[in-house]
Structure 1
Amino acid sequence: MQNRITMANITNYISESFSELKNNVTWPTYAEGQKLMLIVAVFSILFSLAIWGVDEVFSSAIRQYFNWVKS
């Protein structure tokens, strides 16, 4: 009995979620979606390059430190 109540609750939740998405969410237009995707892609590339640069700087510093310690 408990399992049926839980399944009914889950089914009701999914049904209400789809109804909410269909009727109350304002979806962007196709052109707006493309523009936003381009912005996200550009910033993702910029952040990945920044992280790569910091990684290279720290790798170089650690390499130089160990070369200094080894000498």
Structure 2
Amino acid sequence: MAKIGNYISEAFEELKSNVTWPEWAEVQRLTIVVAVFSVLFALATWGVDEVFAKALAGFFNWIKG
């Protein structure tokens, strides 16, 4: 158990002393970029799904019909 505590302690020390953290403005800007691309990717995925759903429905209606 002491090894786990030592590991966590060393990890926090590493984060405090050796990691270069970005400025708050950069974090906000990059968060907005990620959010916008996430929405665009979700819309693109939804669009492709709709196209394939309509194509399959048309195909099966053509077979049935």
Q: Is residue 34 of structure 1 aligned with residue 28 of structure 2?
A: yes
Q: Is residue 58 of structure 1 aligned with residue 48 of structure 2?
A: no
Unaligned runs of 5+ in 2: none
Unaligned runs of 5+ in 1: 1-6
Query: 2:9 aligns to what?
Result: 15
Q: Which amino acid aligns with 1:61?
A: A
RMSD (Å) for aligned C-alpha atoms: 0.6
Query: 1:3 aligns to what?
Result: none
Show CA shifts across 1:2-29 (max 9, x none). Answer: xxxxx11111110011001111111111
Displaced runs of 4 or more, over 2 A? none
Count of residues in Structure 1 that have an aligned counterpart in Structure 2 = 65
TM-score by length of 2: 0.95
Identity %: 65
